[in-house]
Amino acid sequence: MVLGLRDIMDNSEKTIREWKEKDIYRILEHLYSEIWIYGSRDIYDPVSEYAIPSQIASKVYFTGYFP
């Protein structure tokens, strides 16, 4: 299963806090085989900003921006 996410969710502290409270990291790790992030890592890196663990980061693919 593939999950598509925009690159900027909210400020990093708020996103990390909410993802921990809602157990999102576990869900990302176990439920999805790929995570597509709509954006460019060169412009904004949600993997580092949202403290995404390496086992999840290995499933992340950046699609670039759509016109």
Three-class DSSP category at 28 = helix
pTM of the model: 0.89
Do 29 and 36 form a contact (C-beta atoms < 8 A)? no
Q: Rounded distance, CA 40 to CA 55, Å?
A: 20
Burial readout 15-31 (b: 16 or more C-beta within 10 A, e: otherwise): bbeebeeeebbeebeee
**Residue type at 1?**
M
pLDDT tens-digit profile of 4-50? Answer: 999 999 999 999 999 999 999 999 999 999 999 999 999 999 999 99
